[in-house]
Every structure is written in C-alpha cells, then in structure tokens.
Structure 1
Amino acid sequence: MALLPIWRRIETKLHGVVLVMTLMLVCTSPWIFMGKQLRSNAGFWDVFHVYGGLFTAIIALLFAIKVCIKGQWRLFFPWLVADFSQLSADVSGIVKGRLPLSGGKGLLSVIEGIGVILLLLVALSGVIWYLADPSDALMWRSYHKILAQGFIGFVVIHVLLALLHIRDFFG
C-alpha cells in the first residue's frame, strides 16, 4: 500500500508539529481580535490563528489516530476498559513518596491521554466556532477559550512530567 510509507513519515513528526503549532497559537492568541467571524480586513494574527488553527485541528486528529492505533489507546485510556491497576499503583506510590514511572497504563500515560482529549476538544470547538452561525459564534468562542486554557494547564503539567521522565534515563 502506497499510503503506509507516507503515513510513517508523517506520524514521526506529528508530536513536534502539534507542539510547534499549539505553542504558536497559544502565544499569539492575545493578539487575536475576533468575535463572531473573521473580518474581511482581518490582521495577520487573526488570519494565522484561524487557518493555523484549522491546520492544527487536522494534525490533532492525525495525532490522536497515531496514539490510538495498534491498541496503544489502552495505554492512554485504560479507564475505558476499567483497568485501574497501574494507575492505582502509581497513586499509592505517590502517597508513599515514590514518583510514578513513565510508560505503561499508569498515571503519566493517563495524563497524556487527557491531553489528547483536550487537544481534540480545543480543535473541535475552534472548528465549530469557525463554521457556526454568527448568532452562535460567541458561545463557541467562549467554549474554545475555556478549553484552550485547560489545554495550556495540561501543557504545563506535561512539561513538568517530561522533566520527571528525564530522571528515568539517569536514575
């Protein structure tokens, strides 16, 4: 199948592209002056946010597919099959002063799964805001902003956990 080599080249770059695009969108969002729709005389940052956001929504969907194929979804979403064994072991380890290990179906993977869900929700709310009737657009804008703030919180936690992951290489 000709698509398989193309997919493999794309999937290796998805995390980095999602990282760069979301950082650019978040960091430039204070310069967005959009309400119900993109104005005909919109500035560069408004246009970038809309079309960069649409591109990021596509990349986010591809990233979610990458995370979920070949049964990997069980690592990031073990709660979907009521598998709480490693998660509860990580939480009890934290209570005893032990940091959770990276990988598996534990706390760190579950947090990453929540990040994927937040990324998709931010993307979906942005797309709906873009497509919404002007009478509903401000409502979807507010949802998009709230979800984006949640995703920013996740990014901060993800960076802190990535630093914990670095200790696995030296510990």
Structure 2
Amino acid sequence: MALLPIWRSIQTKLHGIVLVMALTLVCTSPWILIGKQLRSNAGFWDIFHVYGGLFTAVIAVLFAIKVCVKGQWRLFFPWLVADFNQLNADISGMVKGRLPLSGGKGLLSVIEGVGVILLLLVALSGVIWYLADPSDALMWRSYHQVLAQGFIGFVVIHVLLALLHIRDFFG
C-alpha cells in the first residue's frame, strides 16, 4: 500500500515525461552516430540517446499500464473486443462533415491507442538493439528507425487532434 501514493504521483506526470523524452530523443536523433553498439568515445548525444531511450522505455511501459488499468484499455483498444460502434459512428460522421468528439471508444481514442502501441514498439526495438549481439544490431537499428518514423507520424497526428480537442472547450 505504501507504493500507491508514489504510483499516483508518478502517473499524473507520465504523459508529460513521455512527451519531453520522446521529443528530445526524436529531435536529437539526427546527431547520433550509433551503429552496432555504443562506441567507447561516444559523444553526449549518443550516450543520452541510449540511456535516455532506456529510461523512456521504462516510462513507456508505465504509461501503457496507466492507460490500461481499471478497464480503460477498452477505450483505446475497443477493436480487441470487436466493439466498433463508436468508431464506425465517428467515421460516418466524418463522411458527413462532422469532426469526431474526443473521449469514449471512438476514432480519436483508437488513434491514441495506436500511439501507445507505437511507443512501446519503438521502446522495445531500442532495448533489443541495445542488447543485441553486434551481428544482429544493425537489423534491430533499422526496425527501431522505421518504428520511430511511424511514431513521429503519430505525434504529428496527435498534435493536430489535440488542436481539434481545444474546440471542445469553446464549441
């Protein structure tokens, strides 16, 4: 029970920590020079990317737990239980020119769920790249890069959808 207050304190900050770490890792990734493994004379950004990435992997798992506890996973992953009602309604509404509402089991929540999956896949591929035998490391590096590009695409969509969400406060 002593961990419950600590968990509550951490979970309120997870989205922000994921945001800051992911953006920092993405924005500094062009400056890193890592192939099969971290070089002995690695620069600051190489070291930060590896160990900041490992930290972010832990935070990503905690974030995924946070969004899935107490049945919330049904909001982000309704397709796992073949619940497509609100998703279909949102898509039908878009065809008719209506923007989907935030919350519930609709399109915006499903997109957020895809983002959580991409975040976990980027984290997992980075951890495996870090742990991989040098003969397999470049393969995992390429997986990590492709998944990171997918995650970047998600972040762009997420920001655009967040801007749409602002309209809910003024609409």
TM over 0.5, yes or no? yes
- Given the alignment of the two structures, is residue 85 of structure 1 paired with residue 85 of structure 2, yes or no? yes
Q: What pairs with 1:16-31 in structure 2 (closer than 5 Å)? A: 16-31=16-31
Give the distance between the partners of 2:84 and 2:140, measured in 1 at CA. Answer: 34
Q: What pairs with 1:45-124 in structure 2 (closer than 5 Å)? A: 45-124=45-124
1:136, distance to aligned residue in structure 2 (A): 0.1
1:77, distance to aligned residue in structure 2 (A): 0.1
Give CA-to-partner distance per residue, 1:95-120, whole Å, 9 cap, x none.
00000000000000000000000000
Corresponding residue number in structure 2 for 1:127: 127
Corresponding residue number in structure 2 for 1:4: 4
Give the distance between the partners of 1:147 and 1:123, measured in 2 at CA. Answer: 9
Give the distance between the partners of 1:59 and 1:130, measured in 2 at CA. Answer: 17
Give CA-to-partner distance per residue, 1:99-154, whole Å, 9 cap, x none.
00000000000000000000000000000000000000000000000000000000
Give the distance between the partners of 1:34 and 1:118, measured in 2 at CA. Answer: 22
1:4, distance to aligned residue in structure 2 (A): 0.3
Large movers: runs of 4+ above 6 Å: none
Give the distance between the partners of 2:142 and 2:16, measured in 1 at CA. Answer: 27
3-state secondary structure, aligned to 1:36: coil
Give the distance between the partners of 1:69 and 1:17, measured in 2 at CA. Answer: 19
1:21, distance to aligned residue in structure 2 (A): 0.1
- Given the alignment of the two structures, is residue 146 of structure 1 paired with residue 110 of structure 2, yes or no? no
3-state secondary structure, aligned to 2:30: helix
1:7, distance to aligned residue in structure 2 (A): 0.1
- Given the alignment of the two structures, is residue 40 of structure 1 paired with residue 40 of structure 2, yes or no? yes
TM-score (norm. length: structure 2): 1.00
1:35, distance to aligned residue in structure 2 (A): 0.1
Give CA-to-partner distance per residue, 1:17-38, whole Å, 9 cap, x none.
0000000000000001010000
Amino acid at match of 1:41: N
Give the distance between the partners of 1:71 and 1:4, measured in 2 at CA. Answer: 18
In structure 2, runs of 5+ residues without a counterpart are: none
How many residues of Structure 1 are paired with residues of Structure 2 in the alignment? 171
3-state secondary structure, aligned to 2:41: coil
